[in-house]
């Protein structure tokens, strides 16, 4: 499905791994990779056999953001071409953010510019202790992708790079582990994620997306009550409860 610059692997446990595969340019992305990654994510999101998605990079970096050759080309574009380019990147981030499957960023190295944006769009991020993060676009006279953090004000304005431990402190990543334990940490996360019912996981993602920032009022209470009531009547929920009471594995773990 993917080209040489993007590797996609479906694994026996129900997870799918997408690897940015341009190590010679630190997995920087250009217009072609943006289209390929958006399509790969959309396909995995629609595939019922895929339970969770892991995003990572090959070589020493997660992603250094925009490819220099692509940036050089875009500097010659007119407004319409630049608008189409920028919109394609925004659609990629939206697709990753709204994917109906749990997403895990396996941050094996530097995540800069749009690479940091990809990390922020994943549900869970685990970083190697030697990873570095930065929204460095202002140093090129550009603006960065939003990463949804209070600390984004500082990071986006200064263009500074931060260590993995600081990224964890400000909430950009959830866990920081030694490089040799990165795969084990991701495997443990996947084990927990895959215990959840596929429909329930998708519903949680919709709930978080739809309700974040809303005031706790009667409308919100009714909305959440409707969602809970609707899920209780599904075959998945009935199977989950029956399996729990019978002390057996639900069918999605069989």
Interior angle at CA 57, CA 162 and CA 179, nearest 5: 60
Same domain, yes or no, for 47 and 114?
Answer: yes
Q: The dihedral of CA 28, 24, 70, 132: what is its sign? A: positive
Boundary-marking domain end, from 193, 212, 241: 193
242 part of a folded domain: yes
> Over the Cα atoms of the chain, what is R_g?
19
Q: Quick one: how far is CA 210 from the chain centroid?
A: 17
Would 168 be classed as within a structural domain?
Answer: yes
What domain range includes position 231? 198-253
138, 160 Cβ separation under 8 angstroms: no
pLDDT of 49 reads 94
Mean pLDDT of 53-74: 91
Q: Are residues 148 and 217 in the same domain?
A: no
**pLDDT tens for each residue of 99-158:** 999 999 999 999 998 899 899 999 999 999 999 999 877 766 676 765 555 567 788 888
Q: What is the pLDDT of residues 6-28, one digit of tens each?
A: 999 999 999 999 999 999 999 99
Are residue 125 and residue 171 in the same domain, yes or no? yes
Domain end: 193, 219, 244, which one? 193
The yes-or-no answer on residue 166 being catalytic is no
CA distance 229 to 225: 6
Contact assessment for residue 186 and residue 105, using Cβ atoms and an 8 Å cutoff: no
Domain membership of residue 1 (yes or no) is no
* 161, 193, 225 - which closes a domain: 193
- Residue 1's pLDDT band, with cuts at 50, 70 and 90, is very low
Per DSSP, what are the bridge partners of residue 29?
A: 66
Predicted local confidence at residue 39, as pLDDT: 96
Q: Do 190 and 52 contact (CB within 8 A), yes or no?
A: yes
244: helix, strand or coil: helix
- What is residue 220's predicted lDDT score, i.e. its pLDDT? 83
Candidates 137, 166, 191, 239; catalytic one: 137
Query: Looking at the 3D structure of the chain, how many domains does it have?
Result: 2
């Amino acid at each position: 499905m993917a080209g040489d610059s993007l590797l996609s692997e479906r694994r026996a446990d129900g997870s799918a791994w997408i690897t940015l595969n341009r190590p010679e340019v630190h997995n920087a992305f250009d217009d072609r990779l943006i289209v390929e990654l958006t399509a790969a994510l959309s396909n995995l999101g629609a595939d019922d056999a895929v339970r969770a998605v892991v995003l990572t990079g090959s070589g020493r970096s997660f992603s250094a953001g925009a490819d220099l050759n692509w940036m050089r080309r875009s500097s010659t574009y007119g407004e319409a071409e630049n608008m189409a380019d920028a919109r394609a990147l925004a659609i990629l981030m939206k697709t990753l953010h709204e994917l109906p499957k749990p997403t895990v960023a396996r941050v094996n190295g530097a995540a800069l510019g749009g690479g940091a944006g990809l990390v922020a769009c994943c549900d869970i991020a685990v970083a190697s202790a030697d990873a570095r993060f930065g929204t460095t676009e202002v140093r090129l006279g550009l603006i960065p992708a939003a990463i949804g953090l209070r600390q984004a004000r500082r990071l986006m304005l200064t263009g500074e790079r931060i260590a993995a431990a600081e990224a964890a402190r400000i909430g950009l990543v959830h866990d920081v582990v030694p490089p040799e334990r990165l795969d084990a940490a991701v495997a443990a996360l996947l084990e927990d994620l895959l215990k959840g019912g596929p429909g329930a996981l998708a519903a949680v993602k919709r709930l978080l997306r739809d309700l974040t920032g809303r005031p706790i009022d009667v409308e919100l209470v009714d909305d959440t009550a409707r969602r809970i009531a609707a899920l209780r009547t599904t075959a998945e929920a009935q199977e989950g409860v029956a399996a729990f009471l019978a002390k057996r594995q639900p069918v999605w773990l069989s």
